[in-house]
């Protein structure tokens, strides 16, 4: 069986790697995904964009890519879309129109619950099975037979959890996985690292080459380097993390941290003024849905300063954070990869 996969994000491919373990042996992946998982038409390293501005600049390429995926869908028995709704939802529409009998499965659903609830009827129209990783998503959909909560994939992938606070004398720095994120945060993180007594550990995505690291990160001589994020987050006492999946990983593991993010001015304006997004931390979003206070601090734009980062590092209630992380583990549950595999295998 051929499975057309469209997984453009690094985080999606981490989930895909876990999922692949439970797929039937006769399933061949085609499409867009990490080259380490098979033989994709496009490897994700060629596709990364950051924000609305970058997406607009590369629009002609992505329109061409969309059409290529529709053509490739002819060979596929089933379609698996993961996250990246800006690309995947139009793709689902085209595939369903051209091949109405092909089953389209959406795993890591579009975050319509944040600011685009009008997308939900389209998601239900173009997709046959919806695999939700958020407990509260199902209530937003009208076609309950299509959507199921499968558990959060991070609870499949993370197998180390803090039961008590660590005292290792180490602090982690995670400036993101996109070039724009890294270049904005690293100068600030370097200054923070100089002002703390603990050992500074820089966590770098494992697929980054030495050449790319030298070009993008700048001087990292004051950091120890790690390419194992889960193990390092479990070891350290605190972390400075760029907004993204890594913040949820740290929360689930139980490592106190502060979120930092510096967006392009236009992207920030759209998010704040037009989309009216109140919070960007995934764990904070979950706690808000549970009717609880935010679990961690978010420093955005001009508030990402050495002083503010150090203030949060010194003042955070680590015991409260650890207690909340245990609540989140129970809330999200696990089993996601096995549950999605069952949907695909049969």
List, for residues 115-167, the tens digit of each pLDDT value: 567 889 999 999 999 999 998 899 899 999 999 999 999 999 898 999 999 99
**Residues in a beta bridge with 308:** none
Task: Check if CATH label 3.40.190.10 holds for domain 2-149.
Answer: no
Asked if the domains at 2-149 and 170-332 fall in one CATH topology, the answer is yes
User: pLDDT digits over 266-307, tens only?
Assistant: 665 655 554 456 788 989 999 998 889 999 999 999 999 999
Indicate whether 52 pLDDT > 50.
no
Indicate whether 187 pLDDT > 70.
yes
Q: Percentage of the chain with pLDDT > 70?
A: 92
Angle, in degrees to the nearest 10, between helices 210-217 and 179-194: 70
**Residues in a beta bridge with 6:** 32, 81
Q: Look at the chain and count its residues.
A: 346
User: What mean pLDDT value characterizes the chain?
Assistant: 91
Domain assignments of the chain as residue spans, ordered by start: 2-149, 170-332
- Range 26-31 average pLDDT: 96
Q: How far is CA 37 from CA 15, 115, 124, 328, in A?
A: 11, 33, 29, 30
Return the CATH number of 170-332, one of 3.30.70.20, 1.10.357.10, 3.40.50.2000, 2.60.40.10: 3.40.50.2000
Neighbours of 26 (CB within 10 A): 8
């Amino acid at each position: 069986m051929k499975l057309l996969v469209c997984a453009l994000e690094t985080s999606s491919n981490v989930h895909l790697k876990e999922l692949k373990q439970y797929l039937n042996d006769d399933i061949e992946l085609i499409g867009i995904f990490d080259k380490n998982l098979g033989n994709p038409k496009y490897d994700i390293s060629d596709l990364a964009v950051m924000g609305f501005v970058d997406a607009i600049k590369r629009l002609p390429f992505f329109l061409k890519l969309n059409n290529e995926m529709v053509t490739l869908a002819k060979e596929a028995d089933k379609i698996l879309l993961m996250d990246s709704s800006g690309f995947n939802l139009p793709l689902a529409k085209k595939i369903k129109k051209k091949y109405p009998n092909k089953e389209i499965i959406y795993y890591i659903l579009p975050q319509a619950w944040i600011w685009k609830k009008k997308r939900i009827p389209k998601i239900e129209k173009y997709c046959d099975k919806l695999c939700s990783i958020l407990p509260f998503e199902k209530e937003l959909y009208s076609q309950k037979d299509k959507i199921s909560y499968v558990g959060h994939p991070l609870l499949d992938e993370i197998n180390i959890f803090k039961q008590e606070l660590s005292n290792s004398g180490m602090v982690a720095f995670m400036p993101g996985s996109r070039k724009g994120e890294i270049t904005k945060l690293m100068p600030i993180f370097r200054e923070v690292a100089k002002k703390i007594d603990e050992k500074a550990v820089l966590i770098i995505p494992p697929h980054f080459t030495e050449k790319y690291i030298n070009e993008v990160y700048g001087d990292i001589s004051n950091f120890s380097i790690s390419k194992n994020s889960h193990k390092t987050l479990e070891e350290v006492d605190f972390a400075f993390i760029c907004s993204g999946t890594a913040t949820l990983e740290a929360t689930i593991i139980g490592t106190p941290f502060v979120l930092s993010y510096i967006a392009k001015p236009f992207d920030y304006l759209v998010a704040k003024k037009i989309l009216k997004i109140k919070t960007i931390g995934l764990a904070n979003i979950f706690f808000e849905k549970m009717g609880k206070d935010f679990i961690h601090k978010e420093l955005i734009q001009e508030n990402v300063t050495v002083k503010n980062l150090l203030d949060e590092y010194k003042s955070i209630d680590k015991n409260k954070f650890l207690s909340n992380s245990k609540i989140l583990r129970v809330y999200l549950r696990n089993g996601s990869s096995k549950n999605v595999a069952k949907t695909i295998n049969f």
